[in-house]
Structure 1
């Protein structure tokens, strides 16, 4: 099942939100420890100790954040990045290491590609997402219940939903039954994309 994360926009304390949005990626920082794609927790721990000389409590916190970014996040998961009074929602890609940016003054070598989906005012978010974003960090996973489809709609608060309900057009039962029948037929189509669209439409109707 798809998961939701938040990322900070200041690896090494440098604001990178403009670059993240323009170049379609997010980064967690931590230069100087090399490519992490096939690195064990023990090896990562050793590299952090050698490079950053963290205390034990600090080490645990940084290990968790890096493991989340490199291993827990998966292609197709969603990410939120705060930007002042706005938040940007993106679809995550795979982890990759870019040696060119493994420098102390840049430090954006550990990356995940992002397809940015939409930007929203903080005031439009639902209460659960606002609370999730209020506790900022390098990387964090949302622990609440997730919807089965259309996360981009789910993160918004109730005013938009209420407005949408007020503008709804009445459809008679016979037309609804016909439409559902067509969607059910599409669920067994040989076209994978058509099956997926039908599934999403039925899940949205069932809410």
Structure 2
């Protein structure tokens, strides 16, 4: 069992950046790909700060763009470790934008990046555990466990050699799909 634990608060990271016209898409809003790039950077920084090692992105879960971001707004991203496994960490990221003239703040995105710690030989390495200090941190840890369990269950159900398409035809009838098996 890992005897090395870190407080979540000690590895939290926050970054802010003014959104420029060069970050905009054709409709004049900030390009989602640019926001994802920033999110990947802060996830890397948070996971590396926690683990003390180089980290790579293994997966990204739940990227919902809730509100558009305008040119000239200040985007702030806050990242913290929500869950740790043996070599992986789930970094929770909250993205907010602020109109710097009016002060109005919008929640734009919350997402979860799974990061894996690596050594200089690119081999996975054990990461420190986390110390849960409050109910919010406990809830986030438990939510991460549930997301992992749901993902594993979904993979088992649909990657199985036992998958039978006919068992799902009725489930698809209410969707905009035509089945021609």
- Normalised TM-score (structure 2): 0.29
Structure whose CA Rg is larger: 1
The structure with the greater share of residues assigned to helix is 1
The structure with the greater share of residues assigned to strand is 2
- Normalised TM-score (structure 1): 0.26
